[in-house]
Structures are given as structure tokens and as C-alpha cells.
Chains A and B, each alone.
Chain A
Amino acid sequence: MFKRSEQDKRPQVQIFVDGVAVAARQGDTVSAALLASGVDARRSTAVSGAPRLPYCMMGVCFDCLVTIDGVGNRQGCLVPVAEGMRIEIQKGKREIGK
């Protein structure tokens, strides 16, 4: 859906999406990294299980909800990637203990 501009010279950062290594760039938000990676990052909603991807990318729609380093319901569009960060695509509601 999206590609990176060639003038982007930012250093790479490795993150893990459901256990699979994905190359992101320093300064990417989790949501931007997921959309750029080409992996199927669709979460499913808590109400009906419908698939969703980020909609607004500015912190207002909550369609980017994702589990980051074991914590569920994080807004992926507001969190910058960090080396070794573990992302889980959230299916349904946030689970107790996450």
C-alpha cells in the first residue's frame, strides 16, 4: 500500500511482529512501520471481529490498537518503534494480563 521515499536515510530498527522480524526506520511510529512492512497488520474489532487498519494516524480513531511489548490496546500511531520491540496484532478485545 505504501513505499518508502529513496531520500529516507534514517537508520534501520528491527522490530518483531507476531514473532517475525520486520525492518522499520528510526522515527517510525509502530503503525507506520506496520503499514510500510507489507505484513498483514489487520487487527479485529472487539465488537464484531471485523478487520481494521489504522484510519487517522493522529491519535483520535483508535483503529491502530495493538499489543506492544506485552501491553494491549496501545495506540500504535503514537508510539515510536524501538530496537527489539515486540508487536502483536490484536485480535478482539484486550486480554486480561496484557
Chain B
Amino acid sequence: MSVAPKRENYDVVVIGAGPAGLAAAATSAEAGLSTLLLDENIGPGGQVFRAISSTPVTERNQLGADYWVGADLVQSLRASNAEVIQRATVWSLDRNLDIAVSIGGASAFVKAKRVILATGALERPFPIPGWTLPGVMTAGAAQTMLKSSGLVPDGRTVIAGQGPLLWLLAAQILRLGGRIDRILDTTQRGNYFAALPHAFAFLTSPYFAKGLSMMREVKAKVQVVSGVTELAASGDGQLASVSYVAGSKRETIPADLLLLHQGVVPNVNLAMSAGIEHRWDDLQLCWSPVLDASGNSSVAGIAIAGDGAGIGGANAAVVRGRIAARAAVEALAPAAAAKLPAMATLRSDLAKAERGRVFLDTLFRPAPQFRIPSGDTIVCRCEEVTAKGVLDSVAIGATGPNQLKAYRRTGMGPCQGRLCGLTVTELMAQARGKTPQEIGYYRLRAPVKPITLAELAAVPKSEADVKAVVRG
């Protein structure tokens, strides 16, 4: 099944087949550029349109109209000449636009004139006591199973956190006949006031009416507790209960499944490993790449589109994909760009798609106690390092995330910091009285996903390569 890329050189290589990647690859191929789309998943769609070509959920209203938009994007891609490879894990991208990709246990190497990174977002870490227990998952994980396998929770289920995805997931679980016992809303009360000045833009965005009706749909069926200020999972080798504090009252409820969610953040690993400059975003509380209006990064030839460029949602991701692809066409085949929608039109589409985002970012800004844990709460899931462990290391001289690796191995496990990086930065910043920007992030390097030594050893090598490492 696994097929290596047909060529060694492409005009454009797009990495990630979510909303941005689908749109970018189709646009670039339609303009006549040789285009390769590499994606790690079984099928196209990314997270928002996961399993769009294969979902067993056939009752369309259960997933919602916004989901099925993905089918049109996939159709446009298939109608184009873009070469698409699924289950292709890109593990290296460098300044020369050389790409290493693992497909079916073997690595292939391609070179691009332009790279469009569309690696999207991942869920923000939610480091509460007990979050590593079996039975605690992300809301996105439950949504993935729902879309790709028609699976819904049927044990005692608690959903905790905040943000639009949480309500969408709850509505989808209920529509498919799943069980939700309680929703614990961690939105800070003060956020409602802070978000108020941005409310007008949101009221006029399409998200407003949809969001409101979804919340009504869920609240009619599930007990929702708002103003949750503390949260913990406990159990012996398996989740048994969830305890929380709301309005200074503590409550503990039995649970088999706890789904956590406090927003999404850019998936920066591949971009950072290519040396692309990122800055700390004080509103979205995450690292975002420094980009120009066409998505071009600090590394010549690499653009970033979609949520990897800063969280903007699926509609914005599609437009950002088209903008990045149009910019690539303008650079490589200016005459062909005339066939595509004008840049001014695309930019106005983007402004429309991003309307209301500041309101959402402000309203759903996660509370400090859910981002910066303390005591025995695990920060790094892979190496099982606690908040206390990190702070003890700071006390004896660890200055930032990269020094901390030598003290505790944080970020050195298989996830390569994806589940602890933001927590470590904010925790160390707080402990040292610095800003996250000053504290910095892990220095990320290829391979950005683990590959076996056997796969590396099987890579074709020249005589010069061998000479460089063999003595005598």
C-alpha cells in the first residue's frame, strides 16, 4: 500500500492534509505546479475533517454541516494533479528545503522549491493531578474516535474545560447516543468582562449563532457546572473519580472517563526544527511563527498556513492555505497566478474568517492554575517529571527548558515536548520572574518523530558518506 514519492524534486511540497493543506495543495496543483501533499494520517482531513472520506457516521446532521465542508475540499484536491501520500510521516525539514519522510517503514527524500507547512494544532496541555491515569483523555481524542470509528462514551463520563470544541464534542456525543454525566466549565468569570469589548465582532461572525444553539442543545440534556476553579482526577491505576471546586464548594463524582480540553495551540515541532523564528503570543498563550501577510516564514521558501500559523479555526485555515499557495505560484510561475483568485479577494476572505477570534481567545483564555501546575502533578508525561521536580531544578540553577533537559529529561521522551513544552516554559517563567519569551522553548531537532535506527541505516549512502564516519 505504501508508495514512495514519484519524483525527487517538486515545485511545492505541502505537509499536512487538514483544511489548510488540502486547500494549498489543490490551489498549487491547479495552477500547474508539481505538487506533493504528505500527511501522517490514514486519510485526508486533518483533525477538523478527520475521516471525511471514511467516517461510519452517515447521518450527516450528527457531525454538522461544518464537518461536511471537508468533503468538497478533498474533492477539489482529487480533481487536481497533486500527488498525495497518506501515512507519510515527515521527520526532517531543513533550510535547503530538503525533506525526509517515513513511509511504510522506509525513508524517502524529496526537495522542494517551496514548502507549505500545514501541520495544524494540538490540544493545549491540561496538567491537573491524575491527568496521566487511564480513563483521562483529551476531548479531541474522543472526537477522533467518534468521527473515524463512530465510537461514543458509554460509561460515567465527565467533560471538563472550556472552548468551542468542548461544546461541539458534547453535542456530537449526545446526537450519536453517547453518555455525558456532567460538564465542568473552567472558563474564568473575569474573562466575560475582558471579552466584552470584542463582543461586537463576534456577534456578527457565523460562530455566534451556531455556538449559542449548540450550548442550548447540550445544556438541555446535561448538568453543566460553571466557574470551576480546581480539578483533579484520581483512581488506582484507572480513573475512578473526578473532584472539583466551583463557587468554593468541593465535590467528588465517580467517573470512568474524563475528557479534558482547554483550547488548541500551534503544532510547532517541524517548523521550529527547520529554524523558523517563533514568538510568544501573549493573547493565545503559545508560540506562533513570525510570518508575513502571505504566510512566509523567516526561512526563505517555507510558508506556514492553517492553525500552525496561529490559531484561527478551520475557515481561516482554508483561506490561509490558498494565500500561501498563491504566493508560491506568484514566485514560481507568475503567469499561472492569473487563473487563481486575486490576493486582495483572499485577504478579505481571511479577515472575514478571522472575525470574532479575539473575543474567543479572550473569553477562553485558560486560567493560570490549569496551565501552571504545582506539587506532584506531572508536567512531562513521557519522563514522568512533576512540577515540584521542575521547580527544584530551577532552585539549583536550571535557567530554561534546554538546561532543564540535563537535570530532568523533560521533553526528551518520544513526544518531544508536545505535551509538556508550554507548561515547562510558563512554569519556569513564573518561578524565575521572567516572561515566556525570555525563558524560551526546547531546541527542536530532526527527527521530529521517532524513526528506527534500522530505517536510518537503510538510507542509501554514497562513498563519501561512509568515509565520513568509518575509520581507516
Interface residues of A (CB under 8 A from B): 1-10, 25, 27-29, 32-33, 35-36, 42, 45, 47-48, 50-63, 65, 73, 77-78, 80
Contacts and interface: CB of A to CB of B under 8 A. Distances in A.
23 contacts: A1-B154, A2-B145, A2-B151, A4-B150, A5-B56, A5-B177, A7-B150, A10-B56, A25-B56, A29-B149, A32-B148, A32-B149, A35-B151, A47-B383, A48-B384, A50-B132, A51-B237, A52-B134, A57-B140, A60-B418, A62-B414, A77-B144, A78-B42
Contacts of B58: 7, 9
Contact of B149 (A9, A25, A63, A65): A25
Interface in B390-432: 413-415, 418-419
Nearest to B267: A60
A2 B384 contact: no
A61 B415 CA distance: 5
B201 interface: no
Given A50-B384, A58-B144, 6 more contacts: A3-B154, A5-B57, A29-B148, A48-B384, A51-B238, A57-B144
A98 to B, nearest CB: 11
B38 to A, nearest CB: 14
Interface string B42-58: 10000100010010111
B227 interface: no
Contacts of B413: 62
Interface string B98-133: 000000000000000000000000110000000011
A53 B137 contact: yes
B226 interface: no
A5 B176 CA distance: 7
Nearest to A72: B452
Contacts, number: 135
B87 interface: yes
B322 interface: no
B138 A28 contact: no
A56 B141 contact: yes
B135 interface: yes
B206 interface: no
Contacts of B47: 58
A78 to B, nearest CB: 6
Nearest to B59: A7
A39 to B, nearest CB: 13
Given A7-B58, A58-B140, A78-B87, A36 B151 contact: yes
